Structure 1
Amino acid sequence: MAYKIDNLLDRVAHRAALRRWRRIADEAARVDLSELRALRQRARHLRRHLERMIHVAENRLALPMIGNAAVATPIGSDWSHRPELWNGPVFPAGYAGVASKQRLGNETTLHHDCTVSELTLRQIRNTRPEDLAPYGLRMDVFRFDGSFLSLVIDLPREGVEGLRKKHLVRLETIVELEQPIEMFARLNVKHGPNTDQIVRELPLHEPQVMVEFDLSYSNFNEKRVEHAWIDLIFEGPQMNQMILRDLTLSRRPRAEI
């Protein structure tokens, strides 16, 4: 049960303890050595618990807040989203020897065609001061005998409702790579029996890894949109560790000319 500190008795006891130890510190230079030795032992016991509590508190308070909804979006955006994998804990948090079509959480699925899987997938806790997302995703790839590796991220219902050809869909991410590779993002929009696709290469050499999908170049039927998803495609991923510290999606109507 969580400890409560907002009651009157606790505040009174805390003030009394502060006064007592302030007085002991003021008189430490004058007390008998035998009494000073006993007081030092008590102070050390108290310090052990205080330092442990401060250490835990500083670590927890330094971490990005779980469920943080802060998403940097362009002016005029009518929807933004940080998928749950980067926003809160999922269970289980990871897999080794990951099979194709393995889901991690409710929105993210890994696809590959390896004969023998030497891939691991794990949600990790972000700890850097600059991170907005509380969680990241780490993927380790050892021997890779397949022809493709992709991470599929489903757009929620709110991102699909009202989707029009006038929209620009933006994907932003923070990527850390052990070895440089090429990555592509593909937006898929399913409308009736058909699926329209737009592919963009992620500019991994730039400080801000961002791509936009201009839906005016697609041919989907606005009245029949059923589902949309993003494929993150990793080219030549063998013997590499890839960390996605954050991933956000947003959309905005194109400015009228």
Structure 2
Amino acid sequence: MCRPPDRAGRAGPHMIALNEGWLSRVLRQRAARRWARLQAAMRRNARPLDPELRDQARDLHQLLGQLLQLSDGMVAGARGSLARMQLPAGTDWRWRPRVMQAANDVTALAAPENGRWLSPEVALFHDCPNRALILRQCRNRHATDLADYALALEVMGFGGRYLSFSLGLPAEALEGLGSQSILRLDASLQAERSIVVYARLNLQQGPNTEQMLRQMGDPIGAKTCTRVIEFDLGYANLAARPVEKAWIDVIFDAPFMNAVTLRDVVVSRHTRAQI
């Protein structure tokens, strides 16, 4: 069992510890007192923060938020929900987006522009002129949920032709990826009204992008359902060079006046049988 770090900065064998010397501790304490004084001064004087200091605070907040999200995601992964999933034999990589494991720095996108990112892994794409959309991270509350967080997409008066959000796959997914590989998508979804959902795998090699489109089974309804899609790269027109970038688009057909929740998504990779 990992034990928490003590006051000297020591940690358990499976934790990354910050080995602070005396000078480092003094500087950290001075920085904390500085921000505390600024906060107290703002409350006393009811005056906004200097723009340069505001930029420093925003950058520090973003960096610390990303650090905590990464740490929380690793703790959630250590609980073993990914390891307990029934995946095909020979699975050598599995991944759940961090935005579904830990609280995100930005929890919602309201009336977003096309191509706006909710997190480093998730972006929303659409051509709705009035941007009547909300994409937000929300807590999973069901006892059967394996992921701590879900992605909820609310669509009001949609006047566009396409709506999707993209899941950017990490660099680890590209290592050894080729025609012998099968990428598998396990997704749990529900919708306020029946809707057809598609998944499209995109593989970028230089100036070329190979795409594979699959319908995610029957229309999604109010009851949470799990859909499994496999992309066999043996049928993809891949060049004899490494894949440089990969992402999956989750595409919604006729999403007018609807609400769709993606309760969980796991992407894994295994090797196709050699015949």
| Residue 192 (str. 1) matches residue 206 (str. 2) | yes
| Residue 171 (str. 1) matches residue 182 (str. 2) | no
Q: What is the rounded CA distance, in whole Å, between the counterparts of 1:87 and 1:222 in structure 2?
A: 35
TM-score (norm 1): 0.72
| Letter of the structure 1 residue corresponding to residue 263 of structure 2 | R
Residues 13-67 of structure 1: CA deviation (Å, up to 9, x unaligned): xxxxxxxxxxxxxxxxxxxxxxxxxxxxxxxxxxxxxxxxxxxxxxxxxxxx962
SS of the residue corresponding to residue 172 of structure 2 reads helix
Following TM superposition, by how much is the alpha carbon of 1:238 offset from its aligned partner in structure 2, in angstroms? 0.9
Q: What is the rounded CA distance, in whole Å, between the counterparts of 1:181 and 1:119 in structure 2?
A: 16
Q: What is the rounded CA distance, in whole Å, between the counterparts of 2:231 and 2:149 in structure 1?
A: 25
Gaps of 5+ in 2: 5-73
| Residue 245 (str. 1) matches residue 245 (str. 2) | no
Q: What is the rounded CA distance, in whole Å, between the counterparts of 1:251 and 1:245 in structure 2?
A: 21
| Residue 137 (str. 1) matches residue 148 (str. 2) | no
Following TM superposition, by how much is the alpha carbon of 1:163 offset from its aligned partner in structure 2, in angstroms? 0.3
1:66–1:88 contact (8 Å) kept in structure 2? no
TM-score (norm 2): 0.67
Equivalent residue, structure 1, for 2:62 = none
1:192–1:224 contact (8 Å) kept in structure 2? no
Q: What is the rounded CA distance, in whole Å, between the counterparts of 2:194 and 2:212 in structure 1?
A: 24
Following TM superposition, by how much is the alpha carbon of 1:222 offset from its aligned partner in structure 2, in angstroms? 4.2
Greater Cα shift, 174-183 or 216-225: 216-225
2:193–2:258 contact (8 Å) kept in structure 1? yes
1:178-257 correspondence to structure 2 within 5 Å: 178-204=192-218, 207-257=225-275
SS of the residue corresponding to residue 76 of structure 2 reads coil
Q: 2:81 aligns with which of 43, 59, 70?
A: 70
Equivalent residue, structure 2, for 1:117 = 131
1:190–1:226 contact (8 Å) kept in structure 2? yes
Following TM superposition, by how much is the alpha carbon of 1:98 offset from its aligned partner in structure 2, in angstroms? 1.8
2:195–2:219 contact (8 Å) kept in structure 1? no
How many residue pairs get aligned? The number is 195
Cα RMSD for the two superposed structures: 1.9
1:165–1:222 contact (8 Å) kept in structure 2? no
| Letter of the structure 2 residue corresponding to residue 146 of structure 1 | G
Q: What is the rounded CA distance, in whole Å, between the counterparts of 1:81 and 1:189 in structure 2?
A: 17
Q: Identity of aligned pairs, percent?
A: 39
Equivalent residue, structure 2, for 1:97 = 111
Gaps of 5+ in 1: 5-64
Following TM superposition, by how much is the alpha carbon of 1:84 offset from its aligned partner in structure 2, in angstroms? 1.3
Answer with 1 or 2: which has the greater Rg. Answer: 1
Q: Which segments of structure 1 move beyond 6 Å, counting only runs of 4 or more? A: none
SS of the residue corresponding to residue 76 of structure 1 reads coil
1:87–1:133 contact (8 Å) kept in structure 2? yes
Residues 202-250 of structure 1: CA deviation (Å, up to 9, x unaligned): 0145953110001011111242310010011100011001000001100
Q: What is the rounded CA distance, in whole Å, between the counterparts of 1:153 and 1:193 in structure 2?
A: 20
Judged with a 3 Å threshold, the aligned counterparts in structure 2 of structure 1 residues 222 and 80 are, in CA distance, closer, same or farther, namely: farther
Following TM superposition, by how much is the alpha carbon of 1:194 offset from its aligned partner in structure 2, in angstroms? 0.6
| Letter of the structure 1 residue corresponding to residue 76 of structure 2 | G
Following TM superposition, by how much is the alpha carbon of 1:88 offset from its aligned partner in structure 2, in angstroms? 1.3
2:194–2:219 contact (8 Å) kept in structure 1? no
